[in-house]
């Protein structure tokens, strides 16, 4: 292996040790994705910084309630019922990045979101990184995949909804609120 790493983010590495380098607490699975959003990064950061906004576009989050400065209580739908934990903000650079990590609860996890200017005319590059230990190990992961609540699937969709909400003011849907989703 070369001594010099390429410029791609670590989470797309083919080397699992490199992949896990961004796990804040040594979690076993790291996922990341970057999506461009045609809004200024200060606005995107400000929206994200108020965690109470997140359930609007995150399908599996039941609630995020502030506990005190820097701490919030997360309730998330999982394959075998709701999971809960308390998250602590581990990094806060206004307009640039925000990171958090669980400090107790059902699932050890952490996350980070970065806001960088894209090339001219290309909006803001928003990069989300999640690290977690799958609930109940391999079986839990398989069940989660079947029910489409696997963190990587739902996080990708969450990022797309965040983009929709920021760029259009609404989230695309075909489902009346009183009916079951179509697909």
Q: Which residues bind other proteins (CB under 8 A)?
A: 36, 38, 59, 121-123, 148, 153, 156-158, 160-161, 163-164, 167-177, 181-183
| CA triple 19-127-60, angle to 5 deg | 90
Closest contact distance (angstroms) between CB of 103 and other proteins is 30
Closer residue to other proteins in complex, CB, 73/141: 141
Provide the minimum distance between the beta carbon of 143 and other proteins in the complex, in angstroms, as a whole number.
Answer: 18
Phi, psi for 131 (deg, rounded to 5): -130, 135
Would you say 2 or 174 has its CB closer to other proteins? 174
Closer residue to other proteins (CB): 31 or 85: 31
d(CA 118, CA 124): 5
Work out how close the CB of 93 gets to other proteins at its nearest, in angstroms, rounded to a whole number.
25
22 closest CA partner among 5, 39, 47, 35: 5
Give me the least distance between CB of 45 and other proteins, in Å please.
Answer: 19
Q: Find, among 98, 102, 124, 125, the residue nearest to 9 by Cα.
A: 125
Q: Could you tell me which residues are beta bridge partners of residue 81?
A: 78
Q: Toward other proteins, which CB reaches closer, 81 or 177?
A: 177
**Which of residues 25 and 156 has its CB atom nearest to other proteins in the complex?**
156
Distance, CA of 15 to CA of 133 (rounded, Å): 18
Taking the complex as a whole, the smallest distance from the CB of residue 181 to other proteins amounts, in Å, to 7
Q: Give the pair of three-digit tokens for residue 64.
A: 């995020």
Measured CA to CA, the distance from residue 47 to residue 135 in angstroms comes to 29
């Amino acid at each position: 292996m070369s001594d010099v790493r390429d410029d791609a983010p670590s989470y797309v590495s083919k080397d699992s040790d490199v992949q896990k380098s961004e796990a804040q607490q040594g979690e076993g699975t790291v996922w990341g994705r970057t999506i461009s959003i045609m809004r200024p990064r200060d606005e995107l950061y400000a929206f994200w910084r108020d965690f109470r906004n997140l359930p609007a576009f995150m399908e599996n989050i039941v609630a995020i309630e502030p506990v005190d400065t820097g701490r919030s209580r997360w309730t998330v739908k999982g394959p075998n019922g709701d999971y809960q934990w308390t998250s602590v903000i581990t990094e806060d650079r206004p307009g640039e990045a925000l990171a958090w990590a669980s400090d107790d609860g059902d699932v050890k996890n952490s996350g980070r979101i970065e806001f960088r200017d894209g090339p001219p005319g290309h909006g803001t590059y928003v990069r989300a990184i999640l690290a977690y230990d799958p609930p109940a190990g391999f079986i839990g992961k398989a069940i989660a995949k079947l029910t489409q609540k696997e963190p990587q699937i739902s996080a990708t969709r969450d990022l797309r909804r965040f983009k929709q909400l920021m760029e259009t003011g609404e989230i695309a849907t075909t489902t009346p609120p009183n009916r079951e989703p179509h697909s």
